[in-house]
Amino acid sequence: MSPSQPVKIDVAINVFRKPYQTALTLLSLLKHSGDLVDKIYFTIDAPGTEHLYDALFKRLAGRYILFVPRFHYWVRPSKYWHFLFRYRVFRQSLRYQYAWESTDKKFLFITHNDVLYSADVATLFMRSIGDNIGIGEVGMCWNCPASSANLCSSDRYLEYRPTPKEYRDLIREHPGSRQKFYSRYRRDSTWPLPECRLNEWACMINMEKARRVTSPYGACTPFGAMYLDIATEWFYDVHRLGYTVAHAGRSGYYAHAWASSDGSGHSLMFDKERYDAAEASAKRILEDEYEYA
């Protein structure tokens, strides 16, 4: 690529329902970062629902690649069938994995389908990623005993590395909401902590670094595999190899689960009234700001 040609990125989005929120996610991202975006890898995690996105596909004509996986994992733990991921049909049914294996770009931008972008976060990520393997918000600190004890935070996760005794004392004195699951995934090391991950609702991966160490090319767990949560095992694996990620807050750039009253996009899937209200909110913005019908 010549110096005069801008660096392009690809986008990976995994979609399960939420057609209006999905449309708003991508159109708001393109509004602010569209000059950087080449292809959008659009994975529908619910075969037979492709028609829900027909209006969006018309707007994205020539810019998206549709992929419908064979299997629907939802949020079932990957630990119990991880051995199947050696086979492409099973592995590429994981979130973002088809894009991960298909992109030819240095950087892959990953987004949830319930994000409202308000500034050019893709450029921010590219300028700030440095030598890190990825960039975005780090950690599910609201669940973490170390955050409750004021010992760790997103921007100092590299600094807090408890000894086994310190870790045992920590979870005893500051029990976390998901603590009962920790022993399933963290038996051989106390760092990174179980709730550490690169939050997948808006992040960027340096594929030149990540592809060679991540399944199927390397030993690290696929990014989209569900252990304690999505990407927690990948985060752990790449750090054990010596890689790091950069923390970048969302303020001024995007809002995740913006239409959910409790800040959780997942919980909307189990409450029809709240789900319908969130979709209606997204539809109004699309009509008012994007002439979307």
The secondary structure element, H or E, covering residue 256 is: strand 254-256
The verdict on residue 233 lying in a domain is no
Q: Are both 147 and 213 inside the same structural domain?
A: no
The verdict on residue 236 lying in a domain is no
Q: Are both 170 and 43 inside the same structural domain?
A: no
Q: Are both 246 and 156 inside the same structural domain?
A: no
The verdict on residue 293 lying in a domain is no
pLDDT value, residue 4: 54
The verdict on residue 124 lying in a domain is yes
Q: Are both 109 and 152 inside the same structural domain?
A: no
pLDDT value, residue 2: 46
Q: What is the CATH number of the domain that holds 247?
A: 3.90.550
The verdict on residue 111 lying in a domain is yes
Q: Are both 166 and 62 inside the same structural domain?
A: no
Q: Are both 48 and 181 inside the same structural domain?
A: no
- Its sign, for the CA torsion 223, 36, 17, 249, is positive
Q: Are both 153 and 20 inside the same structural domain?
A: no
Q: Are both 33 and 108 inside the same structural domain?
A: yes
Count how many residues are written for the chain. 293
Q: Are both 255 and 151 inside the same structural domain?
A: no
The verdict on residue 91 lying in a domain is yes
Q: 17: which residues sit within 8 A by CB, 6+ positions away?
A: 46, 49, 52, 269, 275
pLDDT value, residue 73: 85
Q: Are both 31 and 115 inside the same structural domain?
A: yes
CA nearest 10: which of 197, 205, 201? 205
* Containing structural domain, residue 190: 140-195
Is this model's pTM higher than 0.75 or not? yes
Residue 175 corresponds to which tokens in the numbers above? Answer: 């029990």
Looking from the CA of 153 toward its CB, the CA atoms found within 13 Å total: 4
Q: How many structural domains compose the chain?
A: 2
The verdict on residue 90 lying in a domain is yes
Residue spans of beta strands (DSSP E) within the chain: 9-15, 37-44, 64-67, 107-111, 115-117, 134-138, 198-206, 245-247, 254-256
Separation of alpha carbons 158 and 152, rounded Å = 9
The verdict on residue 4 lying in a domain is no
pLDDT tens across the length of the chain (293 residues) = 445 567 899 999 999 999 999 999 999 999 999 999 999 999 998 888 999 999 999 999 999 999 999 998 877 888 778 888 999 999 999 999 999 999 999 999 999 999 999 999 999 999 999 999 999 999 999 999 999 999 999 999 999 999 999 999 999 999 988 999 998 877 678 899 999 999 999 999 999 999 999 999 999 999 999 999 999 999 999 999 999 999 999 999 999 999 987 777 777 887 799 999 999 999 999 999 999 97
Q: Are both 17 and 67 inside the same structural domain?
A: yes
Q: Are both 166 and 26 inside the same structural domain?
A: no
CB 234 within 8 A of CB 220: yes
